[in-house]
Amino acid sequence: MARKSPSGPEPQYLKVKNHLREGIASGRWVPGDLLPSEAELGTQFELSRMTVNRAFRELLQEGMIERVQGVGTFVAQLHRISSTLTVRDVHDEIAERGHQHEARVHSLAAVKASAEQAASFGLKPGVTLFHSLIVHLENGVPIQCEDRLVNPACAPDYLGLDFSQTTPTHYLLEAAPLSEAKYTIEATLPGELEAKLLGIGKREPCLIVKRTTYSRGQAVTAVRLTHPGSRYLLQGSFQA
């Protein structure tokens, strides 16, 4: 059913815009696919080319499509600008781009901390930590491998959550409000398991963010976020 605004029926161009958005979100058209032309959509929806053009212009501004003069209009590649300089939920980042988020949980268990792992939490070796390994997908394409350790004292319910329905970031920011974060960013090759989970070659450069977050002076979680370099761009800003 068409949505209605307070002032009247839905504008005609939104029929085309919503049709394209829904097709991209559902995977009918994937990044790099050629979309129907303005003429084809005009015929399909019985609309003028000018009306259809407005739908294309708005999707272009939103970063969902790319236009090549004399060739056509394509679904934009997935490496849209994202920001992990602040702690953000990957689900929210993907949703803001009008894309579909999916999470595949590969591991969720309690583990005994190694000396190095325990040190990152200021704890003794051998203590129990929670571990999760999750791959996040954007429109069906893996864009992030999340390898995370969690302090059970800060997030006791962690192992009982369904991370295909929520994200660790969303839960942890509520369970232990963020007060401080430390991170490193490097461009390097993925580990063997990361390459397999992301569906990339072992020699494909990746952007890796390592981050430890704190709540009231206590380390809550340490995470390694691995992103294929061809699918992800990191950008942030700050003011002096």
Region of 52 please: left (phi>0), alpha (psi -120 to 50) or beta: alpha
SS3 (DSSP) at 6 = coil
Please tell me the distance from the alpha carbon of residue 118 to that of residue 180, in angstroms, as a whole number. 18
**pTM reported for the whole predicted model:** 0.64
If you average pLDDT over each of 7-11, 160-164, 236-240, which comes out highest?
A: 160-164
Mean pLDDT of 230-239: 62
Find the DSSP H helices in 113-200: 115-121, 168-175, 192-198
Shared-domain flag, residues 217 and 112: yes
Mean pLDDT of 104-124: 95
Shared-domain flag, residues 61 and 90: no
Is 107 within a domain? yes
CA dihedral of residues 52, 57, 62, 64 (deg, nearest 10): 60
Shared-domain flag, residues 99 and 196: yes
Domain range for 110: 81-234
What CATH number is given to the structural domain containing 11?
1.10.10.10
Please tell me the distance from the alpha carbon of residue 57 to that of residue 50, in angstroms, as a whole number. 10
Shared-domain flag, residues 172 and 93: yes
| pLDDT value, residue 63 | 77
Residue 78 predicted with pLDDT over 90: no
Given 54, 75, 96, the domain boundary residue is: 75
Q: How many domains does the chain have?
A: 2
